[in-house]
Amino acid sequence: MKWTIEVGRYDRTQAPKPGTTRPYPPPYENAPAKRYQTFEVELDDQAMVLDALIAIREYQDESLAVRCACRSAICGSCGMWVNGHARLACISKLRDVAQDGKVTVESPPSMPVIRDLVADMTPFWEKNRKVKPWLENKTPVPSGEEYRVPNDAMENLIQEVSCISCGLCLMDCESYGVNPNFIGPAALAKAYRYSADPRDDKTTQRLGEYSKPDGVWDCTHCYECVSVCPKGVAPLEQILKLRRMAVEAGFTDNAGTRHAEAFADSVRDSGRLNELTLMPKSFGLFNIRAQLASLPAAFNMMRAGKLPPIIHHKIPHLERIKTIFKRLGGIK
C-alpha cells in the first residue's frame, strides 16, 4: 500500500526558502528554518508511522533525523506531532492516522528543535528537576532493616509510576503553550507520585512549592495531557489530587484557591458564574497591580463581544443547585 508522508524538516544551518516555511508559534519564534518535504512509501496497512520514517531514512533520504529506540512505547523517545497532535510514532498505525493516505509529521512547535523530527527535550527535563522527583527522608533506615510500605499505599501510585517520560503531555499542554514557566503535566504527575509516597517526609514543603505561581493552579483543565498520554497516567487527575492535598495542608493563600472558591461561591449563590467578580476575587480586591495586568484581556474580551453582563442574574430554581452543594457539604 502506498502512503504519502509529509515531513517537517528543520536545519539550523539552512536559511528558510521563500514560500516553504510556516509561521512558528511562541514560545520558540526563533526556531530554525523549517520546510516540508513529501515522500511516498510502500508499506502494508499494519505499519506504524515510525516504520514509514525509518523506511524513508533507509531508502530515500539518509539525512532525515528521527529519534527512536525501543519501537514498542517503552523508551519514550519517538514523540512527535502526527497530524497536529503529539503521538508516539512507534505505536501510531498509518491506517489510523492517515487522511486520504497522507500523514504529516513534524517536531512539536511547543518545543525547541534539534533537527528534523528530533525535539530538544531540555524544557521537559528542567521541569522534572524542579519538582525534585526523588524520595526525601531524613529518618535513617534502622540498620539491617528496610522500609516497609503497605501494598495499598503503593497501589495508589501505580498510575504515576507508569510514566515513560515521553513528554507528549507537555508538547500539547495548552497552559505550557502560553506560559513556558508552567511546571507542566508530567512533572506535576511525578510531584504527586512523591508527595503521596508514605516514605517521603517532605510532603508539606513540596505542596507549598507546587502551590506557587506556575504550579498546580496554572493548569486550565484542557484534558490534552489525559488524551495524548500513551500510558494512562492522566496527569490532570494527579494535579487535582495535589490541589486537594495542598488545600488540606493549609496552602490556601494563593490566586488558584481563591479562584476555585470564588467560582464555587458564585455558582452556589446564583447558579451562574459571575465572571466580572471572578478576577478581582481571585487576585485579591486590593491587588491593584494584578487588576491592572488583567485590563488588556478585558479589552480584548470587549472587542470580541465577550464581556459578561454587568448585572448578574440568578437562575430560576436555584434551590436545586443549593441541594447539590448541601449534598457535597458546601452549605451547612
What residues make contact with ligand SF4 under the rule CB under 6 A?
163-169, 173-175, 185-186, 189, 219-225, 228-229, 231, 233, 235-236, 239
Residue 75 binds ligand FES (CB under 6 A): yes
DSSP-derived 3-state class of residue 250: coil
Answer with the entry of ligand FES, ligand SF4, none that 185 interacts with (C-beta below 5 to 8 A by kind). Answer: ligand SF4
Question: C-beta of 92: minimal distance to ligand SF4 in Å?
Answer: 14
Q: Choose between 56 and 239: whose C-beta lies nearer to ligand SF4.
A: 239
Residue 307 binds ligand FES (CB under 6 A): no
Angstrom CA distances, 243 to 239, 261, 268, stand at 6, 13, 21
Packed helices 203-210 and 185-195: angle between N→C axes, nearest 10 degrees? 160
Angstrom CA distances, 320 to 31, 135, 176, 323, 326, stand at 53, 46, 37, 5, 10
Residue 77 binds ligand FES (CB under 6 A): yes
Q: Choose between 164 and 191: whose C-beta lies nearer to ligand FES.
A: 164
Answer with the entry of ligand FES, ligand SF4, none that 189 interacts with (C-beta below 5 to 8 A by kind). Answer: ligand SF4
Q: Which of 72, 164, 65 is nearest to 124 (CA)?
A: 164
Q: Choose between 167 and 177: whose C-beta lies nearer to ligand FES.
A: 167
Question: C-beta of 90: minimal distance to ligand SF4 in Å?
Answer: 13
Point out which span in 63-71, 186-194, 245-253, 299-307 binds ligand FES (CB under 6 A).
63-71
C-beta atoms surrounding 58 within 10 Å: 10
Q: Choose between 56 and 86: whose C-beta lies nearer to ligand SF4.
A: 86
Residue pair 1/43 in contact by the 8 Å Cβ criterion: yes
Q: Choose between 73 and 226: whose C-beta lies nearer to ligand FES.
A: 73
Q: Which of 211, 214, 127 is nearest to 169 (CA)?
A: 127
Question: C-beta of 122: minimal distance to ligand SF4 in Å?
Answer: 15
Residue pair 97/83 in contact by the 8 Å Cβ criterion: yes
* Residue for grid cell 458546601: 330
**Element housing 87 (H / E):** strand 85-88
Q: Choose between 168 and 321: whose C-beta lies nearer to ligand FES.
A: 168
Question: C-beta of 8: minimal distance to ligand FES in Å?
Answer: 18
Answer with the entry of ligand SF4, ligand FES, none that 53 interacts with (C-beta below 5 to 8 A by kind). Answer: none
Packed helices 235-248 and 203-210: angle between N→C axes, nearest 10 degrees? 110
For binding to ligand FES (CB under 6 A), which residues are involved?
Answer: 68-71, 73-78, 88, 90
